[in-house]
Amino acid sequence: MINSDNMRSLCESMGSQFIQLVGTPIYSGYLKRPATEHRGKIQQVIFAGRLAPEKNITEVINAAKRLPKIQFVIAGDGPLRTEIETAAGELTNLTYKQWLATEALITAIDNSDLLILPSSFESFGTVALEAMSRQRLAIVSAGCGIVDWPILRKQLAVIDQPAELGAAIEQIAKTESQVLQQQARQAQSAALDHHQQTLDCWHDVLTQYVSGQRAAA
């Protein structure tokens, strides 16, 4: 089972005979809490994930330096934690929140307007899908598997290079309020559609498996 096309070649190189592309569902906690409407402006941006080199955290810091009027939040832990803590101490618009439990992360996403994921590689990039389900916009790199899903890619801002992050945020921040709100609603709708399609796909896969087991018995 893979959740993006960029995992297919890896599975094939390992000799996999059967490869099934299945979407990534949204954790129920993101669906149970009512989402708040996007405020129609980019006041706060959030990165949530492991603080590792492949996540290109430096570009998040560079974006914060470039856009001093926008608040940046970094939530996570990892080998680059000290670097993030140092940057947060130097920049008044950068806050480090360490690793957040699910409910706290949902709140942090809800308090933000835009999630950023400039990773060099992500098998999928679940946090972007989760942010979309909360009616929040997202910028992801082309190396994130989530862009392999057309229904989701249409509602994402995709950057080819991590260094483009600051310019991408700046461009979105210039968008009219009503347009941002409409885009956020469309992002949420796409995320929920993907979630339902994923559940349906898993149902079909498991049904086929059970039928096969019964036939073999």
The answer as to whether 174 is a domain residue is: yes
Report, as an integer, the average pLDDT of 131-147.
97
Express each pLDDT in 1-16 by its tens digit. Answer: 555 556 556 555 666 6
Question: Does the structure show a pLDDT above 80 at 100?
Answer: yes
How many domains does the chain divide into?
1
pLDDT at 67: 99
Express each pLDDT in 188-214 by its tens digit. Answer: 999 999 999 989 887 777 777 666 666
Question: Does the structure show a pLDDT above 80 at 75?
Answer: yes
Report, as an integer, the average pLDDT of 123-142.
97
SS3 letters across the chain: CECCHHHHHHHHHCCCCCCCECCCCCCHHHHHCCCCCCCCCCCEEEEECCCCHHHCHHHHHHHHHHCCCCEEEEECCCCCHHHHHHHHHHCCCEEECCCCCHHHHHHHHHCCCEEEECCCCECCCHHHHHHHHCCCEEEEECCEHHHHCHHHHCCCEEECCHHHHHHHHHHHHCCCHHHHHHHHHHHHHHHHHHHHHHHHHHHHHHHHHHHHHHHHC
pLDDT at 117: 98
Question: Does the structure show a pLDDT above 80 at 145?
Answer: yes
The answer as to whether 26 is a domain residue is: no
The answer as to whether 61 is a domain residue is: yes
Identify the domain containing residue 53 by its residue range. Answer: 36-188
* Amino acid at site 83: E
The answer as to whether 113 is a domain residue is: yes
The answer as to whether 19 is a domain residue is: no
Express each pLDDT in 82-99 by its tens digit. Answer: 999 999 999 999 999 999
pLDDT at 201: 81
The answer as to whether 77 is a domain residue is: yes
Do the Cβ atoms of 128 and 156 come closer than 8 Å?
yes
The answer as to whether 42 is a domain residue is: yes
The answer as to whether 121 is a domain residue is: yes
pLDDT at 200: 86
Which domain CATH number covers 130? Answer: 3.40.50.2000
